[in-house]
Amino acid sequence: MLSDYSFITLRDRPELMAPAAAWFHEKWGVPEQAYLDCMSAYLSRETEYGWYLCLVGQRIVGGLGVIENDFHDRKDLAPNVCAVYTEEAFRRQGIAGRLLNLAVEDMRAKSISPLYLVTDHTGFYERYGWEFLCMAQGDGESEKTRMYIHR
């Protein structure tokens, strides 16, 4: 049940920066230092683009971030939700949706809207108010990918 989970921003628990960076690196293969740099900028308030986690006890079971650009050619469409991931054993319980809503609400409270994201998924993000916007070319990708907007 979602009531067993904690949904937080990294600013709520800054001590989780290193474990969160390692967790995201393990899931996506992006260098851990890239996550640490983005998270550090957020924690030091150089940016309001945040990091959001779902915890069971002290264990990270879901997360996502907001960054300027998620490795695609549409640099004009920013900021981007990135690194959306829920541990397999915890999927289909609404965790990703709750994290997406948390990020949208947090960014909107800071007058940051709309948000964008790139994904190969169809049908998932629409459930949470995202709309297909266009196709975008991912850095180093041969095929274009779907870009969504949350207004």
Question: Angle 126-130-133 (CA atoms, 0-180°, nearest 5)?
Answer: 105
Judge residue 142's burial from the number of C-beta atoms within 10 Å of its C-beta, 0-12 exposed, 13-18 middle, 19 or more buried: exposed
Q: Which domain holds residue 97?
A: 2-113
* Residue 147 domain-assigned (yes or no): no
| pLDDT tens digits for range 128-142 | 999 999 999 999 999
> Which CATH number fits the domain that encloses residue 38?
3.40.630.30
| pLDDT tens digits for range 88-117 | 999 999 999 999 999 999 999 999 999 999
* Residue 141 domain-assigned (yes or no): no
Number of domains in the chain: 1
* Residue 102 domain-assigned (yes or no): yes
* Residue 43 domain-assigned (yes or no): yes
Task: Round to whole Å and give the CA distance between 32 and 24.
Answer: 8
Kindly tell me if the per-residue pLDDT of 16 is higher than 90: yes
Tokens 């779902």 sit on residue: 54
Q: How far is CA 83 from CA 21, 25, 51, 70, 95, in A?
A: 11, 9, 10, 9, 14
* Residue 28 domain-assigned (yes or no): yes
* Residue 132 domain-assigned (yes or no): no
State residue 1's pLDDT score.
63
> Model pTM?
0.94
* Residue 128 domain-assigned (yes or no): no
Q: How confident is the model at residue 4 (pLDDT cuts 50, 70, 90)?
A: confident
